[in-house]
Amino acid sequence: MTLILAGDIGGTKTLLRLVEISAGEPGEMTSQMKDLYQGSYPSQRFTDLVPLVEQFFAEAAASLGTKPAPFKACLAIAGPVVNNTSNLTNLNWYLTRERLEQELNIPRVQLINDFEAVGYGILGLSAGEIHTLQAGHHEPSAPIAVIGAGTGLGEAFLIWRHNVKRQVDEYVVLPSEGGHVDFAPRNDDEWQVWQYLRRSGLDHISVERVVSGMGIVPIYESLRLQDASYSMAPKTEAAEISAAALDGSDSLCDRALQIFVEAYGAEAGNMALKLLPYGGLYLAGGIGPKILPLIEKEHRFMKAFRDKGRVSGLLERVPVHLVLNDQVGLLGAAVYTLRM
């Protein structure tokens, strides 16, 4: 048995989990993982990660009856990680593996990007933690794509390879900054959104500016400014617009979320064409589960996903799943420790 610490370190909140691992067969990602204790903390209340983890350990000790002494830790960081160091601008935290190992008395600490952790979390999901949008034709060992609209737009992919050190065949996650590629409008509505964002002073209109939480309000505003007959009080929050679309109380909000969902589907289709992920394409991120009825409404997402002209048939074979587990990144940090 090995006790590990998994963490998902975000600018708003930090999730920590103690997990007991009993290794299975080499390369088996479903080795026994027993959750022992979990805590959630407002990141901004702490000057550094160390006192936050120390508080977590104290609370875990009170609950479990013994002070935890994890042998390994994997911490997923919402920001760039270079050589196991990360400077979290939003938190003013500077983290290094060596300092965390010393101050927390953990022999092995690994820092990884938060969306890389999401990629590893995909490998640990159960059947009940996904919702299938398209069954496709799954191919073992084929590439896997992960795309997630949340605060931003994350993208990553997994490829099958032989690990010489461990002497196993396994998936490895490769991070990507695909969310920052150019947004290419496909119709008049999307062109209006592009123009609205350009007039707001942006020199580069990335996909993330539209397909993420930050994109919902600009989409709505671009529609509102064109509709002289719109008489409802203007909405200023993405959650407010989404809620009105879900309950059917505002037709303009419904149109805004339709544009959002179709742009999301189109970008997922773009990613699928580049990778041919017949191992599956997974929608992660916080927005998808919240607007699942709108994603499935009139098959808007999947129609945009497959709308690729002469090569549309290729995408009909891609399994497409929406991730329901909102702590998939934390799960991925635990899964990653199996590689350490």
- For the residues of 138-200, what is the DSSP string, one character each? --TT--EEEEEESSSEEEEEEEEEEETTTTEEEEEEEEE-GGGSBP---SHHHHHHHHHHHHT
Tokens of 283: 């929608």
pLDDT at 78: 83
Check residue 33 and give its pLDDT.
83
Minimal CA–CA distance to 5: which of 19, 22, 15? 19
d(CA 255, CA 294): 11
Distance CA 243, CA 254 (A): 9
CA distance 251 to 16: 41
Residue type, 69: A
Query: Residue 90 has what pLDDT?
Result: 74
Same fold, 2-125+326-337 and 179-323: no
* Contact indicator for 110, 75 with CB cutoff of 8 Å: yes
Backbone phi, then psi, for 22, in 5-degree steps? -115, 115
Q: Can you give the residue ranges of every domain in the chain? A: 2-125+326-337, 179-323
Q: In the CATH hierarchy, which fold is given to the domain comprising 179-323?
A: Hexokinase; domain 1 (3.40.367)
Q: Determine the pLDDT at residue 180.
A: 93
Residue 307's pLDDT is what? Answer: 97
Domain spanning 2-125+326-337, CATH architecture: 2-Layer Sandwich (3.30)
pLDDT in tens, 216-230: 999 999 999 999 898
Distance between CA atoms of 206 and 203, rounded to whole angstroms?
10
The strand pairing partners of 147, in sequence order, are: 155, 283
Distance CA(46)–CA(52), nearest Å, equals 6
Render each residue's pLDDT in the chain as its tens digit; 340 residues.
789 999 999 888 899 999 998 865 544 554 578 899 999 999 999 999 999 999 999 999 999 999 999 999 999 998 788 899 998 877 889 999 999 999 999 999 999 988 999 999 999 999 999 999 999 999 999 999 999 999 889 999 999 998 777 778 899 999 888 999 999 999 999 999 999 999 999 999 999 999 999 999 999 999 999 998 988 999 999 999 999 999 999 999 999 999 999 999 999 999 999 999 999 999 999 999 999 999 999 999 999 999 999 999 999 999 999 999 999 999 999 999 887 7
